[in-house]
Amino acid sequence: MKTLKQLLAEKQYPLAVVAPDDTVFHALDLMARHNVGALLVLDGERLVGIFSERDYARKVILQGKSSKETPVRAIMSDRVAYVSPDTPLEQCMALMTEKHFRHLPVLEDDGSVAGIVSIGDLVKETISAQQFLIAELERYISS
């Protein structure tokens, strides 16, 4: 199975981020353009939160706020779990399952952002690794 570092290196699109003072509307537009379900919220180079579709649904729509006037900082999740690029994929998946979230920031030892992975990224890699193993076992058994 690939490492988290390898998984991040294979991502073919730029990291989509938003600033805390950007509007929720801007964040939603960015999410739509990048076809992602969450954005990292950076204050300069420092991770200060994560903004997700769930945050929007629960903290803007249900509370009757305006997405064009509300800053991201008002509704982002500011207690963000994260992992390092050396974290095993199984551990990432277990953390995401236990804490009930779908996006996980990856930070270098110095606190800089290495990227973000989704539960979909991890499931896709797990299935790919299992399919490879099954094919190898089938080839071994038939030889």
Q: What are the residue ranges spanned by the domains of the chain?
A: 4-142
Q: Pull the structure tokens for residue 19.
A: 């600033």
Q: Quick one: pLDDT band at residue 12, thresholds 50, 70, 90? A: confident
Predicted TM-score of the model (pTM): 0.86
CB atoms within 10 A of CB 75: 21
- Look up residue 35 and give its two tokens: 């076809």
CATH code, residues 4-142: 3.10.580.10
What is the SS3 assignment for 117? strand
- Could you give the CA distance from residue 87 to residue 2 in angstroms, rounded to a whole number? 11
Instruction: State pLDDT tens for residues 75-130.
Output: 999 999 999 999 999 999 999 999 999 999 999 999 999 999 999 999 998 898 88
